[in-house]
Amino acid sequence: MKRRDFLAAACALALPYLRLPRSAGRRSVLSQLLVPMDDSQANHLKAYGVTYRALKRGGRAEWLLNYRGGSFLIPADAATERDAALSGVTVEPVDDAQVVEIRGVIEANNMDALPLEKAPKVAVYVPPNAAPWDDAVTMALEYAGIEYAKVWDPEVLTGRLADYEWLHLHHEDFTGQFSKFYLTYSGAFWLQEMVERNFQMARRFGFATVPDLKKAVARGIRRFVEEGGFLFAMCTATETLEIALAAEEVDVAAQYADGTPMDPDASSKLDWGRTFAFERVRLELSPAIASFSDIDGHQVNNPPRRQPLGAFTLFNFSAKIDPVPTMLVQCHRQVIPDFYGLTTSFNRDRLKPGVTVLADEPGAPWVKYIHGDYGKGTWTFLGGHDPEDPQHQIGDPPTDLSLHPNSPGYRLILNNVLFPAAKKRELKT
């Protein structure tokens, strides 16, 4: 058999297996793929991954803010079509005329088309041996298939954050008190390991105590933002990062963490001019209560002050005037059930005046999702631990995101991942 005949036969045999997407026959006029992000999308979370990988392959994409739930327009190449099919992501092939029509709708409404130019370099601050399954962001990144690097104290302290555009923090305790689990979980293997690892790190970098080490790390993170980095933090990292920054010369750690009791007047000595988001905060003085301050409105581990979960509402912004907050709230749901974390929410009266509130619980004294600028960079804080595990407890099985492919809460996390991809465009806020 000649080579040409062999290929023809092979193609004929393979044809039934290689059923092409609906668009294949019309490819000549179909230049792009619309990734709808409204209720017609089968897998919202993986849609971010498909877009990210299209950018990674060098393609350009557009984020159609407020258009069908914040859809994406990506190149209709074979690799992207295959990726979408394998990921179960709904895509709609669109020809040039349809694209023009979409642009007309965007022009006439509170919508905007934002170019996405490059896949951002993502780093997640996490201890080296931590599994990805106890951190909502790493779970979202793993599920969506978005590459990220793990960084921890050594990378922050040696200035390696400059290699990345996006940094995520989850439930790290930057006050150096091991999430204040020390007394409740004394003897638990995971806690002993966490304590030992942090003590080793403090010794390695010449800090007398873990709280001192973590304060230095917090300053490194602030520098990253100041110099143009994008910071996204969740859960207790939000609150403790702020306390650590405000407490540069104040002892805010319990005796078990640094050998000396917390300064009883610590709250009045904190300098909130050094922080991103909060001010006038009062600290929780008891080492036995796993709560840090009155930043958190829900106080999940403080029984007399614990508040029940409600639902939070995403704000509407003007897409053409405020594209950044608009990007951060793109979602197919406006109201999302709340979820606990060591820090669940942020009391409104503790916010600095310039902070942009992205979501709150109407009628409640707290907000859920906030954003602001600092230096050349930006920060975004989302309260709570895991959007699909509202009552998350230590030891709970990890969330399997393949069971929540349309999670609106996880979408908020992924909005933050793609947000730096739009960095190059001159943003209005």
Rounded Cα distance between 171 and 156, Å, is: 17
Question: What tokens appear for 405 in the block?
Answer: 């492919």
Shortest distance, CB of residue 286 to another protein, whole angstroms?
Answer: 4
Number of residues engaging another protein in binding (CB under 8 A): 45
Cα distances (angstroms) measured from residue 112 to each of 62, 117, 210? 10, 16, 46
Shortest distance, CB of residue 16 to another protein, whole angstroms?
Answer: 7
Residue whose C-alpha is closest to residue 64's, from 94, 26, 22, 86: 94
Shortest distance, CB of residue 96 to another protein, whole angstroms?
Answer: 26
Rounded Cα distance between 106 and 97, Å, is: 14
Position 36, amino acid:
P
Piece of the chain touching another protein by CB under 8 A; list 151-159, 360-368, 372-380, 410-418: 360-368
CA dihedral of 327, 73, 231, 148, whole degrees rounded to 10: 150
Rounded Cα distance between 70 and 106, Å, is: 11
Nearer to another protein, 87 or 238 (CB): 87
Shortest distance, CB of residue 350 to another protein, whole angstroms?
Answer: 10
Piece of the chain touching another protein by CB under 8 A; list 29-37, 257-265, 327-335, 351-359: 257-265
Of residues 95 through 154, those in contact with another protein by CB under 8 A are 131, 133, 142-145
Shortest distance, CB of residue 55 to another protein, whole angstroms?
Answer: 19
DSSP 168-216: EE-S--TTSSGGGTTTTTTT-HHHHHHHHHHHHHHHHTT-SSHHHHHHH
Q: Which of 115, 128, 228, 261 binds another protein (CB under 8 A)?
A: 261
Nearer to another protein, 273 or 397 (CB): 397
Residue 100 region by backbone torsions, left for phi larger than 0, else alpha for psi between -120 and 50, else beta: alpha
Shortest distance, CB of residue 354 to another protein, whole angstroms?
Answer: 21
Q: Is residue 10 close enough to count as binding another protein by CB under 8 A?
A: no
Nearer to another protein, 153 or 294 (CB): 294
Piece of the chain touching another protein by CB under 8 A; list 61-69, 82-90, 209-217, 320-328: 82-90
DSSP 222-261: HHHHHTT-EEEEEHHHHHHHHHHHHTTTS--S-HHHHSSP
Q: Is residue 25 close enough to count as binding another protein by CB under 8 A?
A: no
Q: Is residue 310 close enough to count as binding another protein by CB under 8 A?
A: no
Shortest distance, CB of residue 186 to another protein, whole angstroms?
Answer: 4
Position 255, amino acid:
Q
Piece of the chain touching another protein by CB under 8 A; list 4-12, 95-103, 180-188, 226-234: 180-188
Nearer to another protein, 224 or 366 (CB): 366
Nearer to another protein, 87 or 326 (CB): 87
- Numbers of helices and strands, H then E, in the chain: 13, 15
Shortest distance, CB of residue 48 to another protein, whole angstroms?
Answer: 13
Report residue 338 CA to chain centroid gap.
Answer: 16
Binding site for another protein (CB under 8 A): 16-19, 82, 85-88, 131, 133, 142-145, 183, 185-189, 254, 261-262, 264-265, 280, 282, 285-289, 294, 348, 363-366, 397-402
